[in-house]
Amino acid sequence: MFEFYKDDSIDAVNAKFEAQKIAFSPLSFQAIRALKNMGILGEISNARKKGITISELSQKTGVSEYGVKVLVEMGLGMGVVKINKDSEENKERFTLGKIGFFLLFDEMTQVNMDFSQNICYRGAENLEESIREDKPAGLPHLGPWKTVYEGLSKLTDLQKKSWFGFDHFYSDQSFPDALPIVFEKLIQHLFDIGGNTAKWAISCCKYNKDVKVSIIDLPGQTAVAEKNAKEAGFADRIDAIPCNVLDNATEFPQGADVVWMSQFLDCFSLDQIKLILTKIRKAITPETDIYVLETLWDKQRFEAAAYSLQATSLYFTCIANGNSKMYRYAELKNAIESAGFELKEAHHNLGPSTHSLLRFRIKQA
């Protein structure tokens, strides 16, 4: 556990400043988006150490000096831009701060901002209602579904780009580290539960020339997965089984050497996780390996990553389904083991997004 969650050494002045950042966060968030989208932040970056004046920014971007001023001044308050006083011209010039650099060029920051704006922003207003009523009260801003997963194929192109960009950023980068671990033993048939767009299934087929993969997911997702598998040239080795894993009538097929779940169980409550794993246990043998790939917020190397995952939990609360979250290591492990499984090994810090890969088998008496 991170020690900074225990330490409260911040002084009162800075604590009050941090509180004001929270109080104005909706406005500051949109200010940064405007600075980026209107090209102002990019022009400040291009000016390097010399910096650039308000007048020059206005001329280069076509934004009025008034507009440039209010946005740049908010950027100053957030530490995104800095002032470089030109002693010869006696003019204020603005340069890019370190925070501004990450806002412009860091992939994780860009993915998170797009996801927050295009998926979460409007629905976040309904967070309190979501918690009080145990439902994703912000989801109607995206569509008339019970969970976001039912509507993924029906999102707008911009929403799809933001949702899948976020989802893939926090999964795909760990695949190169995970593949050698999963394929340490001979695998003939792998079941990918929650296979989404078939990214993992295709990666498996590229990694191993003999493996067959069955993707188990909602009908809208399996249709996309089958299309992507065919385009990748693996239609003969990747098939799809459309179903709702929470449906009482759903039974998992048999015959898997490995059951794989990547960023799937965080889409469900702890009780639902136990239900899903109980169904899986009925369909497998004691020799079947269950692999769970997750970003566990208490297993992150950096505070920024943990913060991003804690914030993602709020997306699950008010947008996705109303009852799941990004879990801690122990609570996810305990939920899986309560369904009759035993943790055999755990690999942490996989990939730059710092995933954990957990291997379970049926617990023997």
Put residue 285 in one of left, alpha, beta given phi > 0 → left and psi -120 to 50 → alpha.
Answer: beta
Rounded to 5°, the CA angle 44-49-52 comes to 40
Q: Residue 9 burial by CB count (10 A; 0-12/13-18/19+): exposed, middle or buried?
A: exposed
* Pair 190, 211: CB distance under 8 Å: yes
Q: Which residue has the tokens 């188990």?
A: 216
Phi then psi for 49, rounded to 5 degrees? Answer: -75, -25
**pLDDT value of residue 6:** 86
Arithmetic mean of pLDDT, 26-35: 97
Q: pLDDT confidence of 86, banded at 50, 70, 90?
A: low
Higher pLDDT, 250 or 27: 27
The secondary structure of residue 363, as a DSSP letter, is: P
**What pairing do the DSSP bridges indicate for beta strands 91-96 and 81-86?**
antiparallel
Residues 6+ apart with CB under 8 A from 51: 44, 83, 84, 86, 93, 94, 95
Arithmetic mean of pLDDT, 97-112: 96
Asked if residue 236 has pLDDT above 80, the reply is yes
* Pair 54, 65: CB distance under 8 Å: yes
Task: Copy the structure tokens of residue 199.
Answer: 């990214």
Q: pLDDT confidence of 117, banded at 50, 70, 90?
A: very high
Three-class secondary structure of residue 28 per DSSP: helix
Q: Which residues pair with 294 in a beta bridge?
A: 356
**What pairing do the DSSP bridges indicate for beta strands 258-262 and 212-217?**
unpaired
**pLDDT value of residue 169:** 86
C-alpha distances in angstroms, 6 versus 2, 3, 298, 303?
Answer: 8, 5, 13, 13
The CA distance from 215 to 239, in Å, is: 6
Low-confidence winner among 84-88, 151-155, 168-172 (lowest mean pLDDT): 84-88
How long, in residues, is the chain? 365
Q: pLDDT confidence of 173, banded at 50, 70, 90?
A: confident
DSSP 145-203: -SSGGGGGGGS-HHHHHHHHHHHHHTTGGGHHHHHHHHTTS--SEEEEET-TTSHHHHH
- The pTM score is 0.89
Phi then psi for 115, rounded to 5 degrees? Answer: -65, -45
* Pair 355, 294: CB distance under 8 Å: yes
Residues 6+ apart with CB under 8 A from 3: none
Give start and end residues of each alpha helix (H) in 240-328: 270-283, 303-315
Arithmetic mean of pLDDT, 266-280: 95
The CA distance from 227 to 215, in Å, is: 12
Asked if residue 1 has pLDDT above 60, the reply is no
C-alpha distances in angstroms, 322 versus 126, 217, 293?
Answer: 11, 19, 22
